Each structure stands twice: as C-alpha cells, then as structure tokens.
A and B are shown apart, each in its own frame.
Chain A
C-alpha cells in the first residue's frame, strides 16, 4: 500500500514538473495531432515541421471518425491533443455543438459513390447503372451492397445522398423499393467492400457497392500484379461530397504551435502527399495530383450534399426512419 502511495506521489510530482516546464517554455517538445485510425501519412512528412518550428509531431489515432468525435466531446476543454484531423461534414456540427474546437477549416475532400465491378458487367453484356433510379429496376435486382448508416460513415453518406436526391418526401419510398429489390445491407465498409463486392478481393456476389470515389486508384496501387487499368469504376451521379476538417482543440496549451501545425497541414507539401496516402483530394489549389489519381479516379461534376447544420439537425430522425424500414 505504502509503495503504491509513494509511486502515486512520485508520479504526480513528475507530472506537475512536466506541466510547469511546458508552460514556462514557449516551444513545446512535442505537439499532438489526433486523427482517425485510417490516418496513415507518408513517412517523415512532418520532419520539415520539426525543422521549421521545433516540436516533434506525435500522431495519436483515436478510432474511426465517429469514435474520435465521441471521445473528443467527452474530453472537450481538456483534450487528448492539440490539433484534430479528419472530422468530416457529417460530424462537424456535433463537434462544434460539443464545444470541441476553437477554430477549424476544411483540409481535404472526397466523394462517397457507388463503385461497380467492370468485368462483371462487361462479361454479361449488361449496361452499368448510372443513376439512383436504376438500382430499383428489376435488371439490377440483388446487385447492390450498402453499409449500415448507423455504424458506417460511407453508409451514412450514401443515405444522405439519396435523401438529398429524392427529397424529404420521397426518400423513404426509394429505400423501401431498394429493400424490395434485394439491396444488401452490411454492418460496415469492410464487410461490404471486401466480402460482398465482386470487384475487389472477395468473391462476393454483388457487383455494385457503396465505397469511395478514390477506391479505384487504391485498387491499382495495392494490386498484387501491377494493373494497367482499374478493375472498378465509379457511378458519378450517386456521389456524396464529403469534406474533412482540421481544427485546433479547445483547451490546448500550445495555441501558437497548434496554429502552425494547421497551417502546415494546409500547405502544398502535405496536401500533395494526401491523395496516395489518405486517398482524399487536397483543398489547396496549388497542390498537384499524382498520375494514379488523374488516371483512375473520377470526380463527379455535381454531387449530392447537405450543409453540416442540416445533417446534425436531422441525423437522428433520418436514422430512426431508416432503421424502421430495415429492422
């Protein structure tokens, strides 16, 4: 007992020393960037930041976007880090009303779209569907796999795209038709894309799946045998436009450095590294896209999207209505 007590006291003394040295010194030794699990930046991409400003960048992953936001809300004001990367437009309102952020801005963008298996349609001489309305036609019965909008970010994005497309009064009818046309609802993206979908690693039965607009270049980059063409394509009229934000966490002790890191993440070097590491598009117009993206990724000319406040206001109602159709 005594030993533990002594350890506790020693530990807290050390902790208080650490706090003091940080606040007395303008430049911290380290600055913490909170990000989602899929944040896999290029190796050494923060070296320039350390050279320029001093602190090392400590990347801390906090689960998927939903988990990251929930945790940030629970710790609002006493955050786990200084800067947070990757809250998207479906969650940013929740983060803002949870008083998580001091300031934030867009850092990257991308699309959630229905992907199709090129060879499946080509070998059967069936035309690739091109619109939301096509998915409920009899010739496309039982071909589409989507994710549960409650548990999956792309699943929710696809639901939002459909609500935006059909409007508040018709979207539920559409989903009932989809259900009648044997749409597959999987628990998460991994199940839908890698098990249900026929166009990637799985031997699934579904040639249509809700995934990202940048999934085709990923298929090329991570193919076992080098490919000259992407095995999958994107149905551009089904895309939901997603924006991810970077923000300074309320309660950070290193505001100046946090701002510097946000600037760094928005600058050309980091922005150009994002497509092939995070599979998102830069927001910095000066950033040049890599060839694998210009060749295999398709950007929709128009997208379905809502403003963040509308999403937050209606989220629970929409999800309840959707669950009532499927559960």
Chain B
C-alpha cells in the first residue's frame, strides 16, 4: 500500500496543483454569486416565515412527497432494466441503453409537452411520470457498471447453498451494488426535489415545489427576500441528504472475475428479460413518440409543414434562427463536456483523502437554479467581473452545474481500479505518468465518455440558471422551443414540435453512430 502511494505521487502532485485552480474557478463562478445573493437578501425573519407560513408549508410537503415517490418509481422502473443489461449478453443492449438515456438528454420542455399531449389534465401523475422518464437513465447508467462487475460465481454459490432469487438479490446483489445505487438514489431524489421546468409546465397552479416557488417569489412577485430564504432552506435540506447518503468506499473487485459476469440468458428467463427491457422503454419513450406523432399531424391530417417552416427560415419571423440555435447549443454542449470532464478528471486524480472537495463540488445540486441565475446577474456586473453579457459565461455555468454529475460518474471508476495494477506496472519499471497513460486512462475511458455525455446533456437541457442571463444571439434549443410554443398561430407551434422531434432523433442516434465508427 505504501509503495502504491509512493508511485502515484508525481501524478497526484500535479493533479492536486491543477485542482487548486479548478476549485478557484468553481468558487468564482458558483460560490461568489450565491454568497452575494444570500448576503444581500437572506434575513432571519424571512427564514422563519418560510417555515411557518401555511401556504409555503404546503409547498414543502408537496416538494418532499413528490420527490420521494418519483425516486421510488424511477428506481422500480430502472432496476429490472439494469439487471437485464448488466447480467446478460443481449443483442442490441447498447442500443437499448442508448434509447433509455435519450430522455435524460432532452430539454424538460419537450418531455413536458409530450406528457401533456397524453395526459392533458393530470398534473401529479404527469409530474411523476416526467421525473421517471428523466431519471431512469441515471439509475441505469450509474448502477449497471457496478452490477456488471459482480462475479456470477458468487451468485451461483448462493444458489447452490439454497438461496432463492429474491434472497440472493437482497443478500448478494444488493450489498454489491449498494454504493452506486445509493449515489443514484441521491442524485435522482435531488433532481426531483429541485425540479423546476417540469413542475412549472405540468404542475398548473396548485402543484408547486420549493424551486418553482422561489421563481414565483423572486420573478413574479418581486419578493427576492422570501425567495432567497427559501433557497437557503432548500440548500440546507439538500446538504443534509448528501451528508447522510455519502457512499462508503468502494470494495475493489478483482478484474479477472468480471469475465464471468455476463451469461447467455437461459431460455426460461427470456420472457422475464424481454419484459424487463420492454416495460421501462415503453414508459420512458412514450412521451417522445407523442411528440413525434404530433410533429407530423395537424388537425388530424398528416403534414410536414412544421419541418418546412423550420428549414425555410420562416421561424425567424418569430425570433428563432434555427441554424444559429443548433450551432450555439452544440458548441455550448461541447465546451461544457470538455470543461466539466477535465475538472472532474483532475479532482479524481488528486485522490483527495477527505470528503471536503467532493461535498464542495456537489453544491451546485443543492442551490436553486433561480438563486444562482439571479446571483450571476447581480455579481458579474461590475469591473473586474463584468461578464454577465459574455457568451462564454453560459457554457462555464453549464460546466459548474454539470460538475457534480461528471465527478460522480468518473470517481468510482478511478477508485475501482485495483491497486495491484499500479503495483505491477511500477514493479515492471513504468513511471507514474506512463502508468497513468497506459493503464489508468484506457481503463477509465468508458467512464470519461459517460461523464462527458452527462455534461453535454446538462448543457443541452439546462433551462434554469442560465435562462436568467440575458441573451444576445445565444439562444439554446430549450429556449427556442419555448419561444416557438409561446407564439400564437399554427405554424410556430407546429415547428416547435418539429424541432423537438429533430433533437430527439439526433440525440437517439448520435451514440449509435459513434459506436459504428469505432
């Protein structure tokens, strides 16, 4: 063990030094604006009011229970799917994982519109459904890598010793996937707890979360103080959740065991596997099918006029320049993927011994997007920080928001690399940097891609903090769809659905194409 720490030193040292600048940038673009807001507007009397006020208490109650129910539902839908793809060799399993991830990459406004087309009047079922649609991918993507590593021999031994499937799941599988499942549950809960766009669009007037209430108070009613106090309380709750859910260190697996993890599905299980895959896909993809069908129909007839309108430049008359919007969105997504993944890689490589930095970088999950958004406007408005109207501020803020997710994707992968490998490499005479480039990097490449994918997704769908920044020629896809939907007339509406469909198709196909090129 000592030897291992010794050989890692020169890599770790450089990473720690780089980490300092990452933390500095993080403090500047996240902590600074949030603290400015809190100092300017939070008051103790308002904090008390935010807890005691009856109507706000109802909001707290709804926020909690919808987040808990959404999380439970998302896990219940996701686990069978994760089991099927992690434990069996199935044709098209990568494609199916790709499809189930599509919603996570989609702007909330698209999901909400699709669900509204199916359930026009059911606010609460709509919200829960939308949360499931978004978060199934989180569970699948976070839990499946660890589940894949479970040695089949252990399960077989359990079976040989007479344990049934359920017993095996609770006593063998669950302890094995516990850390990643716990992280996934935490992330899903926090996403649902701080849900904004979904609740605003589907919740109607009577279903409000703290996050949507912060928006209403700050932007609609002009009560910045109440809003900031609510944001402080919300952050406190989220911090407590993170604190209590902190994953215990991963037990490292011997990689030689993983070879036996997959198996051809036994015939008697075929039906169960098929159902485990089909049901979640159906639940998750139906809203998008609704959007796609809607984009080709107008008043009960088939039409492609929405697409024609998009491509002949007509949307410019309602303020949407499609090619510009697409270029901007994809440029921001690329920048965000690069920035957030690099930062996450640096932090993971620094191998921090305390949990201080992971907790610190989890903070963007805790702070309301509205608070951060307003904070950006009041903070970055004076020399030498006069950046609020700079285009690059948008991808930088996207990266800050994406960092917790990228880090949580990357760090377990790095920690899961068996120390034996480093030792072996070192004893064969490889320098720490060579070991890093030849052993560590190839091993974490899938996790790196996943982290970059998540970051790009956050950027593509972000409809919170940066939507408060004023824009000059930097419209992103969700904002463009929102703009088209909020204009009277058939064609702007029709082209909003066409744009949503295009985004769905591009996002669904992109990973498949990349795979083929490999």
B216 contacts A by Cβ under 8 Å: yes
Whether the Cβ atoms of B470 and A150 lie closer than 8 Å is no
Chain A residues contacting B489 (CB-CB under 8 Å) are 200, 218-219, 221-223
A78 contacts B by Cβ under 8 Å: yes
Whether the Cβ atoms of A12 and B470 lie closer than 8 Å is no
Checking A37, A223, A319, A323 against B490 with a beta-carbon cut-off of 8 angstroms, the contacting residue is A223
Checking A71, A151, A194 against B377 with a beta-carbon cut-off of 8 angstroms, the contacting residue is A71
Chain A residues contacting B470 (CB-CB under 8 Å) are 34, 60-63, 71, 80-81
Q: Write out, one digit per residue, whether chain B residues 297-339 have a CB within 8 A of any chain A CB (1) or not (0).
A: 0111001010000000000111100000000000000000000
Whether the Cβ atoms of A185 and B377 lie closer than 8 Å is no
Cβ < 8 Å to B, chain A residues 25-71: 32, 34, 37-40, 43, 58-63, 66-67, 70-71
Q: Cα distance A242–B439 when bound, in Å?
A: 67
Q: Cα distance A188–B116 when bound, in Å?
A: 13
Checking B24, B298, B317, B488 against A215 with a beta-carbon cut-off of 8 angstroms, the contacting residue is B488
Whether the Cβ atoms of B471 and A200 lie closer than 8 Å is no
Whether the Cβ atoms of B220 and A66 lie closer than 8 Å is yes
Q: Cα distance A78–B490 when bound, in Å?
A: 40
Given contacts A15-B383, A38-B319, A80-B470, contact A191 B494 (CB under 8 A): no
Q: Cα distance A316–B204 when bound, in Å?
A: 20
Whether the Cβ atoms of A187 and B468 lie closer than 8 Å is no
CB nearest to B485 among chain A residues:
A190
Given contacts A190-B485, A224-B491, A316-B221, contact A150 B205 (CB under 8 A): yes
Q: Write out, one digit per residue, whether chain B residues 461-472 have a CB within 8 A of any chain A CB (1) or not (0).
A: 000000110111
Whether the Cβ atoms of A63 and B467 lie closer than 8 Å is yes
CB nearest to B37 among chain A residues:
A74
Given contacts A43-B316, A74-B378, contact A150 B216 (CB under 8 A): yes
Given contacts A38-B486, A61-B471, contact A74 B377 (CB under 8 A): yes
Chain A residues contacting B425 (CB-CB under 8 Å) are none
CB nearest to A19 among chain B residues:
B383
Q: Cα distance A74–B24 when bound, in Å?
A: 26
Interface of B is mostly: helix
Q: Cα distance A323–B54 when bound, in Å?
A: 13
Chain A residues contacting B485 (CB-CB under 8 Å) are 190, 194
Whether the Cβ atoms of A187 and B200 lie closer than 8 Å is yes
Chain B residues contacting A40 (CB-CB under 8 Å) are 317-319
B402 contacts A by Cβ under 8 Å: no
Whether the Cβ atoms of A1 and B20 lie closer than 8 Å is yes
Q: Cα distance A317–B220 when bound, in Å?
A: 14
CB distance from A208 to the nearest CB of B (A): 15
CB nearest to B467 among chain A residues:
A63
Q: Interface with A: B6-14, B139-147, B384-392, which one?
A: B384-392
Chain B residues contacting A218 (CB-CB under 8 Å) are 487-489
Whether the Cβ atoms of A39 and B120 lie closer than 8 Å is no
Q: Cα distance A19–B386 when bound, in Å?
A: 11
CB nearest to A14 among chain B residues:
B384
CB distance from A245 to the nearest CB of B (A): 18
Cβ < 8 Å to B, chain A residues 201-236: 201, 203-204, 211-212, 215, 218-219, 221-224
Chain B CB within 10 Å — which of A4, A61, A200, A277 has the most? A61
B442 contacts A by Cβ under 8 Å: no
CB nearest to A39 among chain B residues:
B319
Q: Cα distance A86–B479 when bound, in Å?
A: 19
How many residues of A are in contact with the other chain, CB < 8 A? 67
A279 contacts B by Cβ under 8 Å: yes
Chain A residues contacting B299 (CB-CB under 8 Å) are 203
CB distance from B411 to the nearest CB of A (A): 23
Q: Cα distance A316–B222 when bound, in Å?
A: 10
B483 contacts A by Cβ under 8 Å: yes
CB distance from A24 to the nearest CB of B (A): 16
Chain B residues contacting A11 (CB-CB under 8 Å) are 384
Chain A CB within 10 Å — which of B20, B21, B472 has the most? B472
Q: Write out, one digit per residue, whether chain A residues 268-283 have a CB within 8 A of any chain B CB (1) or not (0).
A: 0000000001010000
A73 contacts B by Cβ under 8 Å: yes
Whether the Cβ atoms of B201 and A200 lie closer than 8 Å is no
Chain B CB within 10 Å — which of A74, A80, A185 has the most? A74
CB nearest to A221 among chain B residues:
B489
CB distance from A227 to the nearest CB of B (A): 10
Q: Cα distance A73–B483 when bound, in Å?
A: 24
CB distance from A142 to the nearest CB of B (A): 12
B157 contacts A by Cβ under 8 Å: no
Whether the Cβ atoms of B490 and A189 lie closer than 8 Å is no
Chain B residues contacting A316 (CB-CB under 8 Å) are 221
B224 contacts A by Cβ under 8 Å: yes
Q: Cα distance A327–B486 when bound, in Å?
A: 25
B493 contacts A by Cβ under 8 Å: yes
Given contacts A12-B383, A40-B319, A224-B303, contact A58 B488 (CB under 8 A): no
Q: Cα distance A1–B16 when bound, in Å?
A: 11
Whether the Cβ atoms of A60 and B471 lie closer than 8 Å is yes
B90 contacts A by Cβ under 8 Å: no
CB nearest to A98 among chain B residues:
B222
CB distance from B215 to the nearest CB of A (A): 9
Whether the Cβ atoms of B384 and A78 lie closer than 8 Å is no
B256 contacts A by Cβ under 8 Å: no
Q: Cα distance A60–B377 when bound, in Å?
A: 14
Checking B303, B317, B388, B491 against A80 with a beta-carbon cut-off of 8 angstroms, the contacting residue is B388
Given contacts A185-B205, A187-B200, A224-B303, contact A201 B318 (CB under 8 A): no
A139 contacts B by Cβ under 8 Å: no
Whether the Cβ atoms of B488 and A279 lie closer than 8 Å is yes
B206 contacts A by Cβ under 8 Å: yes
Chain A residues contacting B404 (CB-CB under 8 Å) are none
CB distance from B399 to the nearest CB of A (A): 15
Whether the Cβ atoms of B491 and A194 lie closer than 8 Å is no
B359 contacts A by Cβ under 8 Å: no
A128 contacts B by Cβ under 8 Å: no
Q: Cα distance A78–B472 when bound, in Å?
A: 18
Whether the Cβ atoms of B377 and A75 lie closer than 8 Å is yes
CB distance from A231 to the nearest CB of B (A): 9
CB nearest to B41 among chain A residues:
A74
Q: Please name 5 pairs of A and B residues whose Cβ atoms are closer than 8 Å in the assembled complex, sorted by A.
A: A1-B24, A32-B472, A150-B221, A185-B204, A222-B490
**6 nearest A-B residue pairs (beta carbon):** A222-B489, A12-B384, A40-B319, A218-B488, A201-B493, A62-B470
Knowing that A4-B21, A15-B383, A74-B224 touch, tell me 7 more A-B residue pairs with CB under 8 angstroms: A4-B25, A39-B319, A75-B378, A185-B204, A196-B120, A218-B488, A327-B205
